[in-house]
Amino acid sequence: MVSPGKIFMQAIAYAGFAALIGYFSASPEYAHMDPKLALIKLSFSHAGAPKTECRKLGQEELNELPPNMRRLTDCPRERVALLVELDIDGVLVYRDWRPPSGVAGDGASAVYERFPVQPGRHKVTVRLRDSRKSDGFDWEYADAVEIKPRQNFVIDFRAETGGFKFL
Amino acid sequence: MAGIKRLARTGFEYLESGLDVVFGPGWNPLYYLGALGWFFYWIVAVSGIYLYIFFDSGVRDAYESVEYITHTQWYAAGIMRSLHRYASDALVVVVLLHVAREYVTDRYKDARRFAWLVGVPMLWLLYASGISGYWVVWDQLAQYVAIATTEWLDSLPFFGEPIARNFLHETVLSGRFFSLMVFIHIAVPLILLFVMWIHIQRHMHPRVNPPKGLALGSLVMMLGLSLVYPAVSQAPANLNQVPSTVGLDWFYLTLYPLLDVYSGEVLWVVAIATTALLVIMPWLPPRYRAATAKVDLPNCNGCGRCVADCPYSAITLEPRSDGDYHPKEAVVNAAKCVSCGICAAACPTASPYRRRAALVPGIELPGATIADLRRTTTEALEDLTGQARVLVYGCQTGVPMNESQDNGVAVVTVPCLGALPPSFLDFVLSRNLVEGVLLVGCRAGDCHYRLGQEWTQQRIAKQRDPYLPDRIPRERIAICWVGIDQKGKTEARLHEFRNRLRELAGPPSNAQQDTASTQVAEI
């Protein structure tokens, strides 16, 4: 038979353990980001152009191939790296070459970057080069946007729907 | 490192002593950390099954269904939700304490490394189970966890398209990954259960259930917490806003804030390095392994008592290999043997009365033979004088019992009290070599070799073969279960025992034993 004194002490011990579990299961709060700030998230996945153009095979080259593999053109799989730039209020905050994914370098390039900013009006300009050209950009979009505190302002890119999109 | 380990061991000793006072050794939670882990797992499993009945696994409806669970059906599903969360948190606490305690008490090396190694992936599975659980509520914490976890996964060079893009914005929210997480939250705990089962495979009589009193107390505690402080959701997830401040579950998400300080790659290196360290720990110095038990076939008749008593299932009965007429023989699997010597004490041939030139039982430890035990026992008793002479058999892993300064006390150390054949008590008492025997073992309920205490008590109480004969007066024997920090307490108990012996009339061999009484005093 457990004595009343022991039951009391056990109740205290159980209550202490319960308090520990209860408190740390949701507290103290963690400030992941200053709530006065907002976030600009630049993220997209896009495949650049093939690194080299397709080449027509000569008759001699075709003859060397087995009959079932005689394609008229040789198109290397590797793609170019994407050049991405982001300006906020005229200040270049991001510029990077994003390599294609995959072992053969033939997959899409991906971008996923976060930029905490002060809320308010900002001029946002984003540029992308996805071709083999050595200068300039293939895609560019700029707009003045009003960003609220804690807003998750997303810059996405979909070539099939016209390029950059601010969400 | 050794200093930290010693300090931690001392800390545990103090905590164990304190909880012994509060709960008594029979219910001390620190002796049942593994069993409590199982208990909390079952609470989580049962409450999870109930919650799944009302949970909507679509990303758009999950939050509403959890709100229904929490508020509309608060009296049943709401309590189940709280039990689900708090038992999961308690599971983390007992598991981490279990790991730490096994480490500081050196119960992870050699033959015990199997359970240790199986335990390492269990930690990953436990955290994956808990973290995926926070995800499926789809509140702001879930949003934070989903984004932080996928960003962390994206720092690995395996994924072409960032997984975190699934949670980019409300307009492009994808339920694919969310549904996958619901599946993971069911599948991973099931895998964890399977690995938990493997974890205990090398244990004879594994403790998978805490004592009823402790289980009841823990359940009442969980229910009380669930009623007083029910688990609730945070604001609903909204990918258009950053969940800048969240109430974290610090038991599962302890490392998440570090993702805001260090890169994902750095944390992967830390996580993988920690895992690798845990894996190699059983092989790190200091390394000392006592010789494992050896079978002496001419003295083994394949009775199977050692098989039944081995706490680690290291002995099996196999067909006879020496042509003897007995059909079976004991075979020791050295990889599983922890050199506790409990098998030797179970062997009927391990008797100090044997008159052969060499006392060799059917099974024993080469480093602590039964012949050595008889020799050290008789040598220790040679110079004993006084009225209440006491022989102390001390457990090697328990409180250090040095040579006594008192001429009336002799000390003999054994690998485990379970390795002491009961016939030795008969030997010293029926020959009047001493007036009493004090057995000093590990802390009650916490035998270093798991079952040594239980077998010792049962042998003396004639509940387990080999029995201590009836002719031995039980009042001449006392057992003292103490922690390694309780030398003073042991000496006080010894003093008390000797005073009691002085009050008993005549030598032990003349005592009239009440055959109905086989109980020994635990002092």
Nearest 5°: the CA angle A100, A106, A111 is 25
Q: How far apart are CA B405 and CA B391, in angstroms?
A: 13
B91, B41 Cβ separation under 8 angstroms: yes
Give the model confidence (pLDDT) of A106-161 as tens digits.
Answer: 899 999 999 999 999 999 999 999 999 889 999 999 999 999 999 999 999 998 88
Of B19, B24, B144, the CB nearest to A32: B144
- Name the residue of chain A whose CA is nearest to B130's CA: A25
Are B318 and B297 a contacting pair, CB within 8 Å?
A: no
Peptide bond into B211 cis (omega under 30): no
| pLDDT at residue number B35 | 97
Residue B282: is the preceding peptide bond cis (ω within 30°)? no
* pLDDT score of A53: 86
The whole-number pLDDT of residue B399 equals 82
> For B221, which of A6, A17, A45 is closest by C-beta distance?
A17
Q: What does the domain layout of chain A look like in residue ranges?
A: 1-30, 38-50+79-166
Residue B398: its pLDDT value, please?
A: 84
* Residue located via tokens 């931690």: B8
Closest CB to B168 among A27, A150, A156: A156
Q: Which domains does chain B have, with CATH numbers?
A: 2-283 (1.20.810.10), 294-522 (no CATH)
Three-class SS of residue A49?
coil
Contact B225 A18 (CB under 8 A): yes
Contact A22 B251 (CB under 8 A): no
Q: What is the pLDDT of residue B512?
A: 56
Q: Which of A6, A8, A12, A14 to mutate to test the interface with B (most CBs of B within 10 A)?
A: A14
Report the pLDDT value the prediction gives residue B452, as an integer from 0 to 100. Answer: 95
CB contact (8 A) between residue B244 and residue A27: no
Looking at residue B523, its pLDDT comes to 66
pLDDT tens, position by position, A1-40: 778 888 999 999 999 999 999 999 999 999 989 999 999 9
pLDDT value of position B447: 93
Query: The domain A38-50+79-166 is classified under which CATH number: 1.10.10, 2.40.10, 2.60.40, 1.10.4100?
Result: 2.60.40
Question: Mean pLDDT, to the nearest integer, of A91-100?
Answer: 95
The residues of chain B scoring below 50 in pLDDT are 515-516
Cross-chain Cβ contact A37/B249 below 8 Å: no
Look at residue B180 in the predicted model and tell me its pLDDT: 85
Query: What ipTM was estimated for this complex?
Result: 0.87
Whole-angstrom Cα distance, residue A55 to residue B509? 107
Q: Where are the beta strands (DSSP E) in A28-119?
A: 29-31, 38-46, 55-56, 73-74, 82-88, 91-98, 109-117
The verdict on a CB contact (< 8 Å) between A21 and B86 is: yes
Rounded-to-integer distance, Cα A163 and Cα A14, Å: 60
Which pLDDT score is estimated for B505? 67
Going along B213-308, which residue ranges are E strands? 245-247, 294-295
